[in-house]
């Protein structure tokens, strides 16, 4: 629509500047040292929503970080879109690998470099700005509600209770989320599924104190060696996960689904080259797209034990730790898999060590329907803005809250992500292409329009 394009053209510099201001706030939810920054970021989001034209915007306190809620009801008889996003970000370390400060956004070669640039401040803010375009040009076709949380990166612990307590307030027809990626600007796509997550922390304790590895080496179990052995045993030679019952509820894709999934444009050599690896890795019998989209995984996210400073120390340490997470696929339950993992990990511990297993946050896998009005409206919006049909894909990441929307609010979700796989989310030098940011702001109003028309 010309009126939207004109408005965007007129305000695009400000739209970018406002995002950069938001990126300057180090809203790291995992680290309690940043609690005040997270609260400050919630206020900034609230203010930006008020400026964009919502009727009211509130900061909803939780026992963790606050949730920002806002709404604009133009006509109760029209469909309502509930926009979900998050303003918290991942920790920035390892800091030494960033080329510029994670919270000092810079634009280089058309890319915004900052922690949260893509995940999810950049993508969430597209909705605030798209709403501004609609509201300020008097072209809103749906009622809009915003629910922007501050704990997505730490498992959305307080969003579940918030949904329970605000069912009436959150009534809507669809949840709209931009917190995933698409294949490329040339191959726009829509995600139709997300993996779930079970995230564990394990500790292996041997002797009651650090020992001299000369005096005791070879005579006392070394917790690092034992932990390595236990972790190594979690995959077999085909890279299948060996935890009993782990795959029990995993469904194999139908041949047709397999074919559709593998039809997405994908160049294995380009993929490997971009990552700097000579060979990819994964479960035998599955393609890379199948592995990331449809198969459960187990990765060590962190490991530590013993002396890790400069030089050499001949210590046989008292304990060793690791953070281990599993990505889950439909029908697997985060809680169940956490329990299965714990039981198995404890069972494989030899008698000369003690093992402690605790669960961090988890999330359930989701599949979103492709035959719904909402999916069709999203597909048509992308067709209009990009001039191309979107390719349906399966995402490897997890947004724990999506499954809860359906369970608690009875709402389906549309995953309209504008990120790219090489955006370095959760990594140093996270970026978001300026073009993708603007393209999102251009596309979203069409979703509002088509969703109203098709509903």
Enumerate residues 290-309 that contact its own copies by CB under 8 A: 291-292, 295-309
Shortest approach of its own copies to residue 407 CB, angstroms? 21
Binding flag, residue 213, its own copies (CB under 8 A) = yes
Binding flag, residue 19, its own copies (CB under 8 A) = no
Binding flag, residue 350, its own copies (CB under 8 A) = yes
CA distance 235 to 241: 4
Rank residues 69 and 113 by Cβ distance to its own copies and give the closer one. Answer: 113
Shortest approach of its own copies to residue 27 CB, angstroms? 14
Binding flag, residue 212, its own copies (CB under 8 A) = yes
CA distance 6 to 137: 10
- Torsion of the alpha carbons at 235, 237, 240 and 242, rounded to the nearest 10: -50
Rank residues 188 and 395 by Cβ distance to its own copies and give the closer one. Answer: 395
Max Cα–Cα distance, the chain, nearest Å: 79
Selected from 63, 99, 214, 256, the binder of its own copies by CB under 8 A is 214
Rank residues 277 and 454 by Cβ distance to its own copies and give the closer one. Answer: 277
Q: How many residues does the chain have?
A: 455
Exposed (0-12), middle (13-18) or buried (19+): which is 267, by Cβ within 10 Å? exposed
Binding flag, residue 269, its own copies (CB under 8 A) = no
Binding flag, residue 421, its own copies (CB under 8 A) = yes
The DSSP H or E segment spanning 355 is strand 354-363
Selected from 126, 253, 316, 366, the binder of its own copies by CB under 8 A is 316
The residue assigned the tokens 């969003």 is 159
In contact, 68 and 124? CB cutoff 8 Å: no
Strands 391-393 and 366-367, sheet pairing: unpaired
Shortest approach of its own copies to residue 382 CB, angstroms? 20
For the chain, the distance separating the N- and C-terminal CA atoms, rounded to the nearest angstrom, is 20
Binding flag, residue 396, its own copies (CB under 8 A) = yes
Question: For the window 41-70, what string marks contact with its own copies as x by the rule CB under 8 A?
Answer: ------------------------------
Shortest approach of its own copies to residue 434 CB, angstroms? 21
Selected from 275, 346, 407, 453, the binder of its own copies by CB under 8 A is 275
CA distance 341 to 362: 13
Helix, strand or coil, per DSSP, at residue 159: helix
Shortest approach of its own copies to residue 164 CB, angstroms? 23
Binding flag, residue 197, its own copies (CB under 8 A) = yes
Rank residues 72 and 295 by Cβ distance to its own copies and give the closer one. Answer: 295
Binding flag, residue 280, its own copies (CB under 8 A) = yes
In contact, 39 and 115? CB cutoff 8 Å: no
Binding flag, residue 40, its own copies (CB under 8 A) = no
Per-residue burial over 28-48, b = 16 or more CB atoms within 10 Å of its CB, e = otherwise: bbeeeebeebbbebbebbbeb
User: DSSP string of 405-444?
Assistant: IIIII---EEE---B-GGG-TTSTT-EEEHHHHHHHHHHH
Selected from 157, 321, 383, 455, the binder of its own copies by CB under 8 A is 321
Tokens of 164: 């329970």
Site for its own copies in 361-380 (CB under 8 A): 361
Binding flag, residue 260, its own copies (CB under 8 A) = no
Binding flag, residue 108, its own copies (CB under 8 A) = no
Selected from 46, 398, 413, 436, the binder of its own copies by CB under 8 A is 398
Question: For the window 153-182, what string marks contact with its own copies as x by the rule CB under 8 A?
Answer: -xx-------------------------x-
Alpha carbon of residue 32 to chain centroid: 20
Exposed (0-12), middle (13-18) or buried (19+): which is 86, by Cβ within 10 Å? buried
Helix, strand or coil, per DSSP, at residue 418: coil
């Amino acid at each position: 629509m010309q009126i939207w394009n004109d408005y965007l053209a007129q305000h695009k510099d400000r739209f970018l500047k406002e995002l950069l201001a938001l990126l300057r706030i180090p809203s790291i939810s995992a680290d309690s040292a940043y609690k005040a920054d997270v609260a400050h970021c919630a206020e900034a989001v609230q203010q930006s929503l008020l400026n964009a034209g919502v009727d009211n915007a509130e900061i909803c306190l939780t026992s963790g970080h606050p949730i920002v809620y806002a709404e604009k009801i133009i006509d109760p008889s029209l469909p309502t879109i509930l926009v979900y996003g998050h303003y918290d970000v991942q920790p920035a370390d390892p800091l030494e690998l960033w080329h510029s400060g994670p919270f000092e956004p810079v634009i280089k070669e058309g890319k915004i470099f900052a922690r949260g640039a893509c995940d999810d401040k950049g993508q969430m803010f597209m909705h605030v700005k798209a709403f501004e375009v609609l509201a300020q040009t008097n072209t809103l076709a749906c009622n809009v509600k915003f629910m922007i949380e501050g704990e997505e990166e730490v498992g959305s612990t307080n969003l579940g209770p918030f949904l329970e307590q605000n069912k009436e307030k959150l009534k809507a027809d669809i949840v709209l989320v931009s917190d995933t990626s698409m294949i490329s600007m040339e191959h726009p796509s829509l995600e139709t599924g997300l993996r779930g997550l079970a995230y564990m922390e394990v500790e292996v304790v041997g002797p009651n104190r650090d020992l001299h590895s000369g005096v005791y080496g070879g005579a006392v179990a070394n917790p690092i060696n034992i932990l390595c052995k236990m972790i190594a045993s979690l995959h077999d030679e085909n890279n299948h996960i060996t935890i009993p019952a782990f795959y029990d509820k995993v469904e194999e894709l139908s041949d047709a689904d397999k074919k559709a999934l593998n039809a997405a444009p994908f160049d294995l050599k380009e993929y490997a080259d971009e990552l700097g690896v000579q060979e990819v890795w994964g479960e035998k019998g599955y393609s890379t797209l199948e592995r990331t989209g449809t198969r459960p995984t187990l990765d060590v996210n962190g490991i530590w034990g013993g002396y890790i400073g400069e030089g050499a120390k001949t210590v046989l340490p008292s304990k060793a730790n690791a953070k281990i997470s599993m990505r889950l696929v439909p029908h697997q339950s985060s809680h169940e898999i956490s329990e299965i993992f714990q039981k198995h990990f404890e069972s494989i511990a030899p008698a000369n060590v003690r093992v402690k297993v605790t669960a961090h946050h988890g999330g359930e896998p989701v599949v979103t329907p492709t035959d719904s009005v909402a999916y069709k409206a999203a597909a048509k919006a992308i067709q209009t803005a990009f001039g191309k049909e979107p390719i349906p894909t399966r995402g490897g990441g997890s947004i724990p809250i999506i499954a809860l929307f359906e369970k608690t609010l009875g709402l389906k979700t549309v995953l309209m992500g504008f990120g790219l796989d090489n955006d370095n989310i959760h990594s140093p030098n996270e970026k978001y292409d300026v073009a993708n940011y603007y393209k999102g702001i251009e596309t979203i109003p069409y979703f509002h329009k088509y969703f109203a028309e098709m509903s």
